[in-house]
Chains A and B, each alone.
Chain A
Amino acid sequence: MAKLYSECPQKNDNLNPKEETVNFLLNYSKALSVIQCNKWKFEALLN
């Protein structure tokens, strides 16, 4: 019998972000620097 391709795809339980994405976020956080000057706050990315 012909194979049916119209069935719902199987539920994928392994729904997690890639490791690179998580690492990027952690590195972004480390590189992000907030400089406060009087009332103002400036963001700077210091790699």
Chain B
Amino acid sequence: MKHELITDAVLVSNYIKGDESALSELITKHKQKIYSFIYSKVYDRDITEDIFQDTFIKVIRTLRLGKYNEEGKFLPWVMRIAHNLVIDHFRKNNRMPKFSNTGEFSIFSVLSDSSLDAEKGMIKEQIESDLRRLIEELPEEQKAVLVMRMYNDMSFKEISEKTGVSINTALGRMRYALINLRKVIEEKNIILTN
């Protein structure tokens, strides 16, 4: 183990000094571990290939720019870079593979549709239209503040300037608008959750 660590450190140092074959040795030595690690997360050969390439591009740039300072911990450092790139990949795609523990492989555990399905879409529309009707019932002043805040995304400062009242009054109207909405929702037993 110690021998391996020293060798990596020497190879890194040789590479920084300009020995290109040291990089080749480092890649050959660790490629399987790094590639398998990435593949175990993304389960896709092409994506694994891309992430593996990006990982080493980052490694090469860091080493060449002299920013590497973890001598003796080359592999964990590369693994960390690969891990971060895997996370970036999932963030970009906005999905994480989920595996149920039943032992059976289900394609739906890997494939997911982030958009709402027809039923959920209808429920969402229904909720939004119910809410709009409830807002219509509010006193004019409260309704104006709530619409400006929630639908137009205005700050209370902007609302107070537009309506010509103080910020505190605008805040108060918002508070009463929410209290009144809750009251109506509770009284009429309206369910506004998906």
Q: Chain B residues near A25 (CB, 8 Å)?
A: 23, 27, 53, 56-57, 60
Tell me whether B116 is interfacial, beta carbon within 8 Å: no
* B114 at the A interface (CB under 8 A): no
Binding site for A on B (CB under 8 A): 20, 23-24, 27-28, 31-32, 35-36, 39, 48-49, 52-53, 56-57, 60-61, 64-66, 103-106
With beta carbons under 8 angstroms apart, the residue of A16, A17, A28 that contacts B60 is A28
B53 touches A21 (CB 8 A): yes
13 A-B contacts (beta carbon < 8 Å):
A6-B105, A15-B35, A16-B31, A17-B35, A17-B48, A21-B49, A25-B27, A25-B53, A29-B60, A32-B60, A32-B61, A34-B65, A43-B65
Instruction: Name which residue of chain A comes closest to B40, CB basis.
Output: A15
Q: How far is the CA of A4 from the CA of B24 in the complex (A)?
A: 43
In the bound complex, residues from chain A placing their C-beta under 8 Å from that of B35 are 15-17
Residues of A contacting B53 in the complex (Cβ-Cβ under 8 angstroms): 17, 21, 24-25
Number of interface residues of A (CB under 8 A): 20
Kindly supply a per-residue 1/0 record for chain A positions 10-45, scoring 1 wherever the CB is within 8 Å of any chain B CB and 0 otherwise: 000001111001101110111010100000010100
